[in-house]
Amino acid sequence: MATAKQSIGTKQNIRLSAEKLFRQRGYAAIGMRELAKAVGIEAPSIYNHYKSKDELLSEICFNIGNQFHQAFDAAVVNEEKFQKKLRAAMKAHVGVIASNLEASEVFFNEWMFLEVPNLAKFKKYRLEYEIKFRDILDKGMRKGDFKKMNSKLVAFAILSALNTTYDLFASKDKLTTNEIAEGISELLIKGLKA
Amino acid sequence: MATAKQSIGTKQNIRLSAEKLFRQRGYAAIGMRELAKAVGIEAPSIYNHYKSKDELLSEICFNIGNQFHQAFDAAVVNEEKFQKKLRAAMKAHVGVIASNLEASEVFFNEWMFLEVPNLAKFKKYRLEYEIKFRDILDKGMRKGDFKKMNSKLVAFAILSALNTTYDLFASKDKLTTNEIAEGISELLIKGLKA
DNA sequence: CCTACCGATCGGTAGG
DNA sequence: CCTACCGATCGGTAGG
């Protein structure tokens, strides 16, 4: 019992330390020995919990990816109007970042180090997410709720603005999730008005 | 003569290869041997042109940083109204990215690997650039040309949207610099209207 | 511009 | 969970 409990704790510890270190200094710059030291174990012991460094990174990335998809779906389903759907999706997106400040940065900046089967899966997953945003934009434009623009360009602008909110959370102004999400929504949705 | 000429060519070759490789796979993942192979020389020969890997990275980053500052200053100086200043600055920013597709990505994503004196210099330089944008926003808000919002948040949203335009240039839609810059400007400046 | 080489560190395995 | 260790590769130097 005590052993199993400790083992679960260690695995979580490895992941949390990895999220922090990968974000701070980059996946490629962090060795297994340094990660192990942060956890308080020796490097080979990590392999009792993760088969490889790649498996560790992909667990971090896909966990965040799942959260983005689920938060989006849950936020959008109860809204009728496309403007409200978009606003809710944006807020949900910022919410996922806010509750995963370190891991979401790894998701955004370190995914490129994923290895061959995981890399393709990740790209597909992320593209599907972008398309969910574009879909709201396209439908809203067709219905006349949004101004007709290049929806791919707009989706990129929206996601880019949302994805850098990490820096705003980290800055000394101490903006809340709501202030950030509302501020960006206001700016972009007003810009989209027909 | 021939030797000197060839030497200059080699240095440029090293930088162009570094820009391409650092962007593709990340600074930390590219060794001097692989870089040398791309140039067609042996690894130690790189040190005839660059003192260290860090010097190479910082040359790439500061070159782009200078271009951003100069393009901004040149774009803004001839405009009177803050809306026009902002639009011109945004267009200039996209223009620098468009003419430095590889190097600008290194600037955005690999600067964190700069070492100690260069890292601080880089951060200062980049903060000054962000403040130039905030300054236009703040003055425009005070004058009533822009809606009163958190200018730091808006500057972040603008720069984030502009900075990911690399992916739009790289995508198969083949958007032009003008289409990208105008699309993002339209979206964001309309959103800023008082 | 090269060959030859330095000490350090890499991800990961064997074996217990 | 550890110690001991693998081959490979790292940034960089010596010396020509």
CA distance A190 to A172: 28
What does DSSP assign to residue A183? H
A192, exposed or middle or buried, with CB in 10 Å at 0-12, 13-18, 19+? Answer: buried
Q: Are B152 and A160 inside 8 Å of each other by CB?
A: no
Strand C at less than 7 A from CB of A115: no
Residue A7 confidence (pLDDT): 59
CA B78, C1' C14: Å apart?
71
Strand D at less than 7 A from CB of B124: no
Q: Which of B109, B175, B193 sits opposite A153 (nearest CB)?
A: B175
Instruction: Inform me whether the pLDDT recorded for B8 exceeds 70.
Output: no
CA B56, C1' D16: Å apart?
26
pLDDT in tens, A152-168: 999 999 999 999 999 99
DSSP A85-120: HHHHHHHHHHHHHHT-HHHHHHHHHHGGG--HHHHH
Residue A147's H or E segment, with its range, is: none
* pTM attached to this predicted model: 0.94
Strand C at less than 7 A from CB of A54: yes
Q: Which long-range contacts (CB under 8 A, 24 or more apart) does B54-57 make?
A: B54/B113, B54/B114, B54/B115, B54/B118, B56/B14, B56/B15, B56/B18, B57/B18, B57/B22, B57/B27, B57/B106, B57/B110, B57/B113, B57/B114, B57/B118
Start-to-end C-alpha separation, chain A: 62
Read off the tokens for B102: 């590889």
Nearest CA in chain A to B191: A191
DSSP chain B: -HHHHHHHHHHHHHHHHHHHHHHHH-GGG--HHHHHHHHTS-HHHHTTT-SSHHHHHHHHHHHHHHHHHHHHHHHHTT--SHHHHHHHHHHHHHHHHHT-HHHHHHHHHTGGG--HHHHHHHHHHHHHHHHHHHHHHHHHHHHTSB----HHHHHHHHHHHHHTHHHHHHSTT---HHHHHHHHHHHHHHHHB-
| Contact criterion met (CB below 8 Å) for A133 and A159 | yes
Strand D at less than 7 A from CB of B26: no
Q: Are A150 and B183 inside 8 Å of each other by CB?
A: yes
Strand D at less than 7 A from CB of A48: yes
- Comparing C-alpha atoms, which of A17, A150, A156, A167 is closest to residue A94? A167
User: How many angstroms away from the CA of A134 is the closest CA of chain B?
Assistant: 14
Mean pLDDT throughout B125-138?
Answer: 98
Nucleotides of D under 7 A from a protein CB: 1-4, 9-15
Looking at the C1' of nucleotide D4, which residue has the nearest alpha carbon? A44
Instruction: Inform me whether the pLDDT recorded for A2 exceeds 80.
Output: no
Mean pLDDT throughout A89-111?
Answer: 97
Residue B4 confidence (pLDDT): 43
Residue A5 confidence (pLDDT): 41
Looking at the C1' of nucleotide D13, which residue has the nearest alpha carbon? B44
Model confidence band, residue A4 (pLDDT cutoffs 50, 70, 90):
very low
For residue B193, what are the β-bridge partners? B146
Q: Which nucleotide is nearest to B32 (CA to C1')?
A: D11
Q: Which nucleotide is nearest to B3 (CA to C1')?
A: C1
- Comparing C-alpha atoms, which of A78, A98, A84 is closest to residue A185? A84
Instruction: Inform me whether the pLDDT recorded for B185 exceeds 80.
Output: yes
CA distance B186 to B167: 19
- Comparing C-alpha atoms, which of A189, A188, A71 is closest to residue A129? A71
Nearest CA in chain B to A185: B191
Q: What number of C-beta contacts closer than 8 Å exist between A and B?
A: 102
Q: Are B154 and A183 inside 8 Å of each other by CB?
A: yes
Residue B3 confidence (pLDDT): 43
Strand D at less than 7 A from CB of B54: yes
Read off the tokens for A144: 């006349």
Q: Which residues of A touch B184 (CB under 8 A)?
A: 153, 157
| Contact criterion met (CB below 8 Å) for A82 and A136 | yes
What does DSSP assign to residue A193? B
Instruction: Inform me whether the pLDDT recorded for B193 exceeds 90.
Output: no
pLDDT in tens, A134-150: 999 999 999 999 999 99
- In chain A, % of residues over pLDDT 90: 90
Mean pLDDT throughout A90-97?
Answer: 97
pLDDT in tens, A36-93: 999 999 999 999 999 999 999 999 999 999 999 999 999 999 999 999 999 999 999 9
Residue B48 confidence (pLDDT): 96
| Contact criterion met (CB below 8 Å) for B88 and B52 | no
Strand D at less than 7 A from CB of B44: yes
